[in-house]
């Protein structure tokens, strides 16, 4: 494989943390800056107009919570009115507001930015970190997204990458990336369960590998279940201990709570490898004699952790049921996400599937590694030969990932129902055309609303967008035919076109994505990003200014 | 192992055949081939001609050809791997068609079928419903069991129940089935 080729950055843009990796000389390695390999997906707006990204931004949570944007992956590519976004508005201290076209905007540091821009800041940070580590420009990337990401979420992620100066050669599913990192691409067919327990979300995906072809059989998850819940439990114990030591309640002191929450996370992390942890926190209430001494044994934490972890069991069972499999038919279990470091999580996984999970790759970087491997496979898929020709390497060296459509796609029809055009689980890329006729006399235009989901009733699905084809010729109803084509490319991105074949000239309309950004907005964001100034290398740290 | 030129030729031959080659020719199988042969041919084609194989060349005409060809490969597989669509296609082919038209390909699923995620469980479900309509209780019951072995879904359970409680000879069905 050509070694002087520009490396492809494999990116895991996580809800809580992000990481990136590259393949060099046939070996995948996680990109690091100093000792940091895992970058908090946190962006903080400073009063002087600068943005902080990563660990330093995360530290601002206990100082200036309203201007620190975290968990923004939960917002990207969604519509403002969606239940998830409304739930987030209740949970986070920063302000989420509605933008144009139902887009999600965030107010921080006296500015209004879109969720896409926040992701772009994190991605820029990762790109610059990689460029610094590799000593060369990095342009190309493979970016991982959750298997259940919708079309809108995938396109929004792509836009963020573009804003960050990255050319995305492939969007890959996170569980598929994790399986690739473990190299399950030989000729044997297997079923793999990917158990991903992160900071705030839990996902389980059942993958089938048949002759180097990866298929997502089922994916299931809990939107709000993760390591954060364990931190919260430990925080509760700490607040109790503080009350005992000082007779003061911290319940209404968000700044102190945020500070202790960070300590609680450290305690949890220590308890994943030790049987006990003790901490001393100075001046919980600044300027007062209010030090906290707190110690916790792993055995005493278990009763709190257990019910949280057990909530993942029915989710696993649901995924298995959808895949039509019983636990013993799963050949391998791959662990992803920091929370799977807890020994108790591993024993629950073993209990659920009846076998030990794979743990040899760090669960916090396994997705980035898999994405990097896929990037290398894509770029190195044709190898130069001595005679100047090019040959394909052995199949095992580069598997082809055949993805399927995770949810059906359809259009709104009379009476509020859905006419499905692409059925879920169809292999991509694919194209499907359907013909519609006018329903009234002299109908001048048709409005085609597109949704994603399995419900017969349009409103119960996720509405993706709509397109309007106008300028139809005057004719009695039923006489004008419009062809609507759905095309899904290899990244799983949808393009919808409507065409009127009757008017000699072919007229084409393309879908406007709800919650999406128009070209002008993307342009504006690009300008803002471009003026964000020199990267971290020349600023000696984690600052992106604008 | 194909060289770049061989790959390119193969690709161009298929591209030239987009307007005339049958799905069978496209996958390199015979009209008499069974499902397993068709699936294997599809995976082989995917290994060789998936657009990902051409990414390294950049977004040129080769990649566009690969994309157009590959879309037809997946269309061919989706039709030939579905018994009902394959029958419809074979009929259309007698009339001179090389492709199954869009309307026929987008055969709608019933709301019940929609609740099944396993493609084969869905095929068994559909077959069982047909057989039940024709009063073939035992054959329907077998299809339901095959479906259930792939996906333990409520719609299949309901159908099983309808067969077992069918007024016409549930006793004989039970006797035969559980003997
Ligand atoms: N050694 C550890 N033991 C227990 N939990 C850990 C450990 N390391 C990280 N975590 C937790 O993992 C979570 C983050 O996991 P990560 O995979 O980065 O999440 P995400 O995919 O949501 O970005 C946090 O809750 C963090 O506290
Ligand atoms: Mg993750």
Q: Chain A: give the shortest CA distance to residue B165, in Å.
A: 25
Q: Taking CB atoms and an 8 Å cutoff, what residues of chain B touch A390?
A: 3-4
Ligand 1: atom nearest CA of A227 is 25
- Cβ neighbours of B157 (radius 10 Å): 13
C-alpha A25/C-alpha A47 separation (Å) is: 44
Q: Chain B: give the shortest CA distance to residue A174, in Å.
A: 18
Q: Chain A: give the shortest CA distance to residue B32, in Å.
A: 23
- Contact call for A169 and B55, based on CB within 8 A: yes
Q: Chain A: give the shortest CA distance to residue B98, in Å.
A: 16
- Contact call for B151 and A324, based on CB within 8 A: yes
Closest CA to B150 of B127, B126, B116, B178: B116
Q: Would you state the structure tokens that stand for residue B106, as one six-digit string?
A: 């987008």
3-state secondary structure of A98: strand
One digit per residue, the tens of pLDDT, for chain A of length 546 reads 444 578 899 999 999 999 999 998 778 899 999 889 999 999 999 988 899 999 999 999 988 999 999 999 999 999 999 999 999 999 999 999 999 888 899 999 999 999 999 999 999 999 999 999 999 999 999 999 998 898 889 999 999 999 999 999 999 999 999 998 988 766 578 999 999 999 999 999 999 887 777 788 888 999 899 999 999 999 999 999 999 999 999 998 988 999 999 999 999 999 999 999 999 999 999 999 999 999 999 999 999 999 999 999 999 998 998 888 889 999 999 999 999 999 999 999 999 999 999 999 999 999 999 999 999 888 874 443 334 333 334 333 566 777 778 788 999 988 999 988 888 777 788 888 888 888 899 998 888 999 988 888 999 998 888 888 888 888 898 888 888 889 988 777 888 888 887 665 566 667 766 666 777 878 888 887 776 644 443 333 333 333
- pLDDT of amino acid A77: 92
Q: Who lines ligand 1 at CB under 6 A?
A: A 14-17, 198-201, 226-228, 265, 268-269, 272, 337-339, 341-342, 364
Q: What are phi and psi of A538, to 5 degrees?
A: -85, -5
3-state secondary structure of A390: strand
Q: Taking CB atoms and an 8 Å cutoff, what residues of chain B touch A213?
A: 43, 46
- Contact call for B53 and A385, based on CB within 8 A: no
| CA A337 / ligand 1 centre spacing (Å) | 6
C-alpha B173/C-alpha B131 separation (Å) is: 14
- Closest protein CA for atom 5 of ligand 1: A339
In this complex, the residue of B71, B115, B121 whose CB is nearest that of residue A431 is: B71
CA distances from A345 to A40, A198, A300, A311, A314 (A): 22, 12, 15, 11, 14
Q: Chain A: give the shortest CA distance to residue B53, in Å.
A: 6
Q: Taking CB atoms and an 8 Å cutoff, what residues of chain B touch A429?
A: 51, 67, 70-71, 74
- Closest protein CA for atom 1 of ligand 1: A269
Q: Would you state the structure tokens that stand for residue B161, as one six-digit string?
A: 């129940």
Q: Kindly report the three-state secondary structure assignment for every residue of A194-257.
A: EEEECCCCEEEEEEEEECCEEEEEEEEEECCCCHHHHHHHHHHHHHHHHHHHHCCCCCCCHHHH
Find the closest chain B residue to A218 by CA distance. Answer: B117
Ligand 1: atom nearest CA of A41 is 23
Does position B175 have pLDDT exceeding 60, yes or no? no
- Contact call for A429 and B67, based on CB within 8 A: yes
Q: What are phi and psi of A512, to 5 degrees?
A: -95, 125
Burial class (CB in 10 A: 0-12, 13-18, 19+), A2: exposed
Residues of A identified as active-site = 12, 73, 174, 196
Assigned CATH for B4-105: 1.10.287.110
Q: Which residues pair with A11 in a beta bridge?
A: A20, A143
Burial class (CB in 10 A: 0-12, 13-18, 19+), A379: buried
Q: Which residues pair with A323 in a beta bridge?
A: none
In degrees, to the nearest 5, what angle opens at C-alpha B113 toward C-alphas A496 and A319?
A: 85
Cite the beta strand spans of A17-60 per DSSP E. Answer: 17-24, 27-30, 39-40, 43-45, 51-53
| CA A362 / ligand 2 centre spacing (Å) | 12
- pLDDT of amino acid B151: 83
Find the closest chain A residue to B101 by CA distance. Answer: A433
Q: Would you state the structure tokens that stand for residue A491, as one six-digit string?
A: 């990244």
The pocket of ion ligand 2, defined by CB under 5 A, consists of A 14, 198
Q: Would you state the structure tokens that stand for residue A132, as one six-digit string?
A: 């610094």
Domain extents in chain B:
4-105, 113-177
Q: Taking CB atoms and an 8 Å cutoff, what residues of chain A touch B46?
A: 213, 400, 402
C-alpha A531/C-alpha A546 separation (Å) is: 5
Largest CA distance in chain B: 67
C-alpha A119/C-alpha B160 separation (Å) is: 49
Under 8 Å between Cβ of A529 and A120: yes
DSSP notation for A263-296:
HHHHHHHHHTTSSEEEEEES-SSTTSS--EEEEE
C-alpha A385/C-alpha A156 separation (Å) is: 39
C-alpha A481/C-alpha A499 separation (Å) is: 9
Under 8 Å between Cβ of A176 and A478: no
Under 8 Å between Cβ of A455 and B16: no
- pLDDT of amino acid A214: 79
Q: Taking CB atoms and an 8 Å cutoff, what residues of chain B touch A400?
A: 46-47, 50, 52-53
- Contact call for A385 and B3, based on CB within 8 A: yes
What domains, with CATH codes, occur in chain A?
1-182+361-402+517-535 (3.30.420.40), 186-223+311-360 (3.30.420.40), 227-307 (3.90.640.10), 409-504 (2.60.34.10)
CA distances from B118 to A21, A167, A322, A457, B5 (A): 35, 35, 8, 22, 39
| CA A416 / ligand 2 centre spacing (Å) | 37
- pLDDT of amino acid A545: 33
Ligand 1: atom nearest CA of A364 is 17
Probe ligand 1: pick from A16, A196, A231, A340, max atoms within 8 Å of CB?
A: A16
Find the closest chain A residue to B151 by CA distance. Answer: A324
Q: Which residues pair with A494 in a beta bridge?
A: A488
Under 8 Å between Cβ of A151 and A464: yes
| CA A336 / ligand 2 centre spacing (Å) | 7
Packing angle of the helix pair A115-134, A519-530 (nearest 10 deg): 40
- Contact call for A408 and B114, based on CB within 8 A: yes
Ligand 1: atom nearest CA of A363 is 17
Under 8 Å between Cβ of A525 and A120: yes
Closest CA to A275 of A343, A198, A350: A343
Q: Taking CB atoms and an 8 Å cutoff, what residues of chain A touch B111?
A: 456
Packing angle of the helix pair A254-271, A298-310 (nearest 10 deg): 100
pTM here is: 0.85
Probe ligand 1: pick from A143, A199, A275, A341, max atoms within 8 Å of CB?
A: A199
Under 8 Å between Cβ of A469 and A519: no
- Contact call for A213 and B75, based on CB within 8 A: no
Q: How far is CA A99 from the centre of its chain?
A: 22
C-alpha B125/C-alpha B162 separation (Å) is: 13
pLDDT tens for residues B47-103? Answer: 888 888 887 777 678 888 889 999 999 999 989 988 889 999 999 999 999 999 888
């Amino acid at each position: 494989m050509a070694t002087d080729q520009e490396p492809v950055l494999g990116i895991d843009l996580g809800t809580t943390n992000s990481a990136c990796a590259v393949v060099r000389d046939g070996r995948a390695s996680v990109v690091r800056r100093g000792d940091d390999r895992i970058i908090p997906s946190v962006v903080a707006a400073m009063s002087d107009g600068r943005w902080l990204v990563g660990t330093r931004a995360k530290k601002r949570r206990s100082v200036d919570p309203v201007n620190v944007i975290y968990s923004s992956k939960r917002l990207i590519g969604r519509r403002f009115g969606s239940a998830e976004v409304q739930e987030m508005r209740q949970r986070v201290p920063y302000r989420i507001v509605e933008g144009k076209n139902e887009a999600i905007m965030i107010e921080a540091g006296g500015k209004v930015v879109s969720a896409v821009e926040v992701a772009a800041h994190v991605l820029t940070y990762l790109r610059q970190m990689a460029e610094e580590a590799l000593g060369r420009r990095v342009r190309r990337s493979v970016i991982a997204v959750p298997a259940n990401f919708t079309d809108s979420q995938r396109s929004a992620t792509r836009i963020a990458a573009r804003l960050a100066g990255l050319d995305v050669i492939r969007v890959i599913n996170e569980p598929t990336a994790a399986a690739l990192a473990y190299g399950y691409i030989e000729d044997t067919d297997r079923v793999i369960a990917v158990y991903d327990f992160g900071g705030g979300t839990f996902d389980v995906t059942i993958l089938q590998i048949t002759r180097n072809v990866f298929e997502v059989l089922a994916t299931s998850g809990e939107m709000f279940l993760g390591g954060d819940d364990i931190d919260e439990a430990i925080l509760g114990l700490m607040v109790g201990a503080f009350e005992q030591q000082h007779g003061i309640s911290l319940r209404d002191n968000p700044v102190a709570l945020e500070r202790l929450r960070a300590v609680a996370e450290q305690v949890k992390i220590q308890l994943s490898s030790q049987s006990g942890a003790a901490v001393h926190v100075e001046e919980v209430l600044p300027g007062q004699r209010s030090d906290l001494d707190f110690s916790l044994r792993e055995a005493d934490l278990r009763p709190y952790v257990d019910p949280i972890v057990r909530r993942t069991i029915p989710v696993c069972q649901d995924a298995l049921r959808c895949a039509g499999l019983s636990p013993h038919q799963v050949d391998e279990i791959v662990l992803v996400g920091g929370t799977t470091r807890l020994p108790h999580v591993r024993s629950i996984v073993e209990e659920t599937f009846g076998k030990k999970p794979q743990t040899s790759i760090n669960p916090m970087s396994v997705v980035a590694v898999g994405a990097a491997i896929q990037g290398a496979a894509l770029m190195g898929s044709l190898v130069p030969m001595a005679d100047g020709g090019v040959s394909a390497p052995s199949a095992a060296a580069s598997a082809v990932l055949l993805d399927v459509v995770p949810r059906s796609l359809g259009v709104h029809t009379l009476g509020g129902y859905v006419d499905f055009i692409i059925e879920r689980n169809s292999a991509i890329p694919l194209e499907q055309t359907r013909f519609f006729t006018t329903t009234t006399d002299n109908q001048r235009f048709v409005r085609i609303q597109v949704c994603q989901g399995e419900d017969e009733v349009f409103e119960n699905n996720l509405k993706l967008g709509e397109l309007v084809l106008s300028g139809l010729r005057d004719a009695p109803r039923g006489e004008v035919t419009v062809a609507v084509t759905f095309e899904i490319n290899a990244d799983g991105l949808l393009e919808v076109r409507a065409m009127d074949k009757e008017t000699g000239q072919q007229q084409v309309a393309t879908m406007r994505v709800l919650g999406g950004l128009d070209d002008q907005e993307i342009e504006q964001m690009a300008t803002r990003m471009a003026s964000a100034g020199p990267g971290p290398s020349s600023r000696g740290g984690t600052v992106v200014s604008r | 192992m194909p060289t770049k030129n061989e790959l390119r030729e193969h690709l161009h031959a298929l591209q030239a055949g987009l307007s005339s080659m049958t799905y069978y020719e496209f996958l390199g199988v015979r009209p008499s081939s069974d499902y397993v042969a068709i699936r294997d041919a599809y995976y082989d084609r995917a290994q060789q001609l998936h657009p990902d194989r051409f990414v390294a060349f950049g977004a040129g005409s080769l990649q566009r050809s690969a994309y157009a060809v590959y879309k037809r490969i997946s269309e061919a597989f989706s039709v030939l791997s579905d018994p009902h669509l394959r029958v419809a296609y074979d009929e259309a082919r007698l009339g001179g068609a090389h492709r199954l038209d869009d309307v026929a390909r987008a055969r709608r699923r019933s709301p019940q079928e929609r609740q099944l995620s396993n493609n084969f469980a869905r095929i068994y479900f559909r077959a069982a419903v047909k057989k039940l309509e024709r009063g073939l209780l035992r054959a329907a019951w077998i299809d339901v069991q095959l479906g259930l072995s792939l996906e333990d879904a409520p719609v299949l359970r309901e159908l099983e129940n309808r067969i077992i409680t069918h007024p016409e000879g549930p006793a004989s069905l039970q006797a035969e089935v559980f003997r």
